[in-house]
Amino acid sequence: MTALEKLAEEKGPQETGGLLVGYFSGDDKDVVITGITGPGPKAQHGRHSFCPDYASDRVEMERIFEKSDGLAWYLGDWHTHPTGHAYLSFLDRKALKSIAKFEGNFVPRPIMLILGRGGGGTSSWVPRAWRIYRLPRTIFGWIWRFDEQEITIFDAT
Ligand SMILES: [Zn+2]
C-alpha cells in the first residue's frame, strides 16, 4: 500500500497504474499480492484514463518471475482514480474482461485493484479490489460477474 500510494501521489491528478504480482492460495480463493510494479516509461496518463506500456510490463513481469524462482506471477492490474471512487468504470470492466478472455491465460480470474480518491485532492487513497468471474455460457453468451474482494493488509517483513 505504501508503494502504491507513493506512485499514485507522484502522478497527482493523473491516473497511473501497473501490475499486481504474487500467487493464488486456498484453491485459488485467496489472492496473495506480494509485489507491484509502476507504470512503464511509455504508459499514457490522463485525468480519466491510463494506458499501460505493455512491452515494458512484459519485460518487468519476466524479471520478477525469474527473481522469485517462479513463485510470483501476474495476478492482474492496479490503477488510480484520482478524482473518483474506487469502483470499476465501464472501461475497467471491459479491460478486465479482455484480460480474462485472453487465450491461454494463466490467470483465468484476474484482479483489478483501484485506488480511489472520491473525497478530492487531499483525501486519502481508498483501495478496492475486484475479481472477475465468468458464469456458465448461456444462449445470451458469456455472463460476467465482478465481485468486490475483501482486502487484508499485512505488514511487510
Ligand atoms: Zn478505472
pLDDT single digits (tens) 37-60: 999 999 999 999 999 999 999 999
Distances (CA, A) of 73 to 22, 116, 142: 5, 25, 26
- Whether the per-residue pLDDT at 105 is higher than 70: the answer is no
Distance CA 40, CA 17 (A): 9
Instruction: Provide the pLDDT for residue 157.
Output: 66
Q: Is the pLDDT confidence value at 7 over 90? A: yes
* Cα–Cα distance list, 23 to 27, 64, 65, 106, 112 (Å): 11, 12, 11, 11, 15
CATH, domain range 2-149: 3.40.140.10
- Centre of ligand 1 from the C-alpha of residue 7, in Å: 16
Euclidean distance between CA atoms 34 and 20, whole angstroms: 8
What amino acid is encoded at 66 in this protein?
E
Arithmetic mean of pLDDT, 28-39: 92
The phi-psi region of residue 51 (left if phi > 0; otherwise alpha if psi is between -120 and 50; otherwise beta) is: beta
What's the mean pLDDT in 75-87?
95
pLDDT tens-digit readout, 107-119? 778 999 999 998 8
Ligand 1 centroid vs 46 CA: distance in angstroms? 11
Q: Residue 26: which pLDDT band, with cuts at 50, 70 and 90?
A: confident
CA of 80 to the centre of ligand 1 (A): 7
If one compares 113 and 12, the residue with the highest pLDDT of the two is 113
Distance 146 CA to ligand 1 centre (A): 14
- pLDDT > 80? residue 95: yes
All structural domains of the chain with their residue ranges: 2-149
For the record, the C-alpha cell of 118 comes out as 472520491
pTM, 2 dp:
0.91
CA of 157 to the centre of ligand 1 (A): 30
CA nearest neighbour of 114 among 90, 145, 82: 82
The β-bridge partners of 30 are 25
Q: Is the pLDDT of residue 102 over 80?
A: no
The 8-class DSSP code of residue 133 comes to E
Closest CA to 59 of 67, 50, 71, 49: 67
Cell of 90: 465501464
